[in-house]
Amino acid sequence: MSQLVPPHGSAQLKPLLLEGAAREAEIKRAAGLKRVPLTSRETGDLIMMGIGGFTPLDGFMGKADWQGVCDDMRMPSKDGLFWPIPITLSAAPALADSITIGEEVSLWDEETGELMATMKVTDKYAIDKAHECATVFRTTDQAHPGVAMVMAQADVNLAGPVKVLSEAYFPKQFAGLYQRPAEARAMFEERGWSTVAALQLRNPMHGSHAYLAWVAIEVCDGVYIHQLVGKLKPGDIPADVRVKAIDALVNRYFRKERVAMAGYPLDMRYAGPREALLHAVFRQNYGCSHLIVGRDHAGVGDYYGPFDAQKIFMEIPSEALHLKPLCMDWTFYCYECGSMASMKTCPHESKAVIDDNGQYQGGARLLLSGTLLRKLMSEGKPVPAEFSKPEVIAVLKEYYDSLEEKVEVKLHGAATGDMKK
């Protein structure tokens, strides 16, 4: 019997991906169905349903579930199942009007033109986009990339159960990294792990990330470095470069029997606390018992407090998730301590001063963040040696040197420490 945590809301994973003869038959049948385009976010969500990452969902959410998730993080259709972010599919009004309830449609990735799934439409409804943004993102400011994504959606949502036919380019482009939940669970069991801490990454691993992973290994059987390989906002480092940088660090500075790396196919929503909960839901499906939640988890700009993602875990009912957060304080390199430290351990409160040549001039705490690292690299400025391992910096320098145009990276309070704790 498995010693891993059970999937979310189910005794077993519920993948919706068809294979073999059933898949081939459904592909032929899809040729006669109306076509509904998918954005990259919708495609990622669909693939997660296909591989069981979004167990126990069986398709895109209807209006009652959309409303329940926005307002209470509950799905009425599934006896109040905890779910933190709406998983929806939108369509232009003219297309939606042409589709009748009960009709089956085919779902196509609008960028690649690939057939991704079929869906039986059981509901179609207009939504209050501002309400979704206010509840999920805690803002309606369209400068927030997640808000902009929702406001750009088509005006009608289509809902219903899906039959997934493809995992898009992820298995091929990220061969050896992209992983289904069943594969992760099998790997953990083969290693004899029962407690697994997931480390969410959308940036290369700087010193704070590595420190969090090492701490997690001390209290769990192993750490699962789980990278997002879907789409990011402009200025973020592409997945293939990030993978190369993380490999360079892990292969030299971690015990191989205590770490596993994998990728998953979602786009970032930058929903801060709500997205941290979504990360917890699908990491539980992957077999993880814990999620490392550090500073500004899944945040962007100054929309969230640095520890809002930790606080929200304390606000949800204890029975909502089997997975538990592994809450970590703000970490940094301390020149006085001569090591990585956190606000819980380090007594030296002065901020480190680094000159334009990347040289230490005084003070104690060098606050590390992915945003600051991207800014330094994009502007061609020296990166302090304490920020990250040289193997990581070398990979990133090669990438930034190759860019003809660089996106301006703006610092915010969560990246510099200039905000209320």
pLDDT at 415: 47
Q: How far apart are CA 143 and CA 134, in angstroms?
A: 14
pLDDT at 238: 82
The amino acid that residue 31 corresponds to is: A
Parse the chain into domains and list their residue ranges: 20-168, 172-264+270-421
Kindly tell me the number of DSSP H helices and DSSP E strands found in the chain: 15, 19
Are 215 and 344 in contact, with CB atoms under 8 Å apart?
A: no
Q: Residue 94: which H helix or E strand, with range?
A: helix 93-97
pLDDT at 242: 86
**178-196 tens-digit pLDDT:** 999 999 999 999 999 999 9
**382-415 tens-digit pLDDT:** 888 888 889 988 998 898 888 877 656 565 554 4
For the domain spanning 20-168, the CATH number is 3.10.400.10
Question: Which DSSP symbol is given to 384?
Answer: P
pLDDT at 410: 63
pLDDT at 369: 77
Report helix, strand and coil shares of the chain as percent, to nearest 5: 35, 20, 45
pLDDT at 370: 72
Q: How far apart are CA 375 and CA 97, in angstroms?
A: 47
Between the CA of residue 229 and those of 202, 216, 285, what are the distances in Å? 8, 23, 18
Query: Which token pair is 178?
Result: 């992209």
Those residues whose C-beta lies under 8 Å from the C-beta of residue 241, and which sit 6 or more positions away, are 204, 395, 396, 399
Q: How far apart are CA 211 and CA 339, in angstroms?
A: 10
Which of 74, 180, 185, 202 is flagged as catalytic? 202
Which of 185, 203, 274, 285 is flagged as catalytic? 203
Count Cβ atoms below 10 Å from residue 58 Cβ, excluding itself.
15
Residue 368 sits at φ, ψ, to 5 deg, of -105, 135
pLDDT at 149: 96
Does the annotation count 357 as an active-site position? no
pLDDT at 406: 64
Are 353 and 360 in contact, with CB atoms under 8 Å apart?
A: yes
Are 155 and 126 in contact, with CB atoms under 8 Å apart?
A: yes
Q: How far apart are CA 169 and CA 67, in angstroms?
A: 32
Q: Could you tell me the CATH superfamily of domain 172-264+270-421?
A: HUPs (3.40.50.620)
Strands (E), 18-155: 34-38, 59-60, 74-75, 81-82, 89-91, 104-109, 115-120, 123-126
Are 270 and 297 in contact, with CB atoms under 8 Å apart?
A: no
Counting as low any pLDDT under 70, the low residues of the chain are: 406-421
Are 286 and 187 in contact, with CB atoms under 8 Å apart?
A: no
User: Pairing state of beta strands 259-264 and 222-228?
Assistant: parallel
> Whole-angstrom distance between the N-terminal and C-terminal Cα of the chain?
43
Does the annotation count 202 as an active-site position? yes
Query: Which token pair is 388?
Result: 């990250």
Placement of tokens 């993978």 in the chain: 243
SS3 297: coil
Q: At what angle do helices 129-136 and 63-72 cross, to 10 degrees?
A: 40
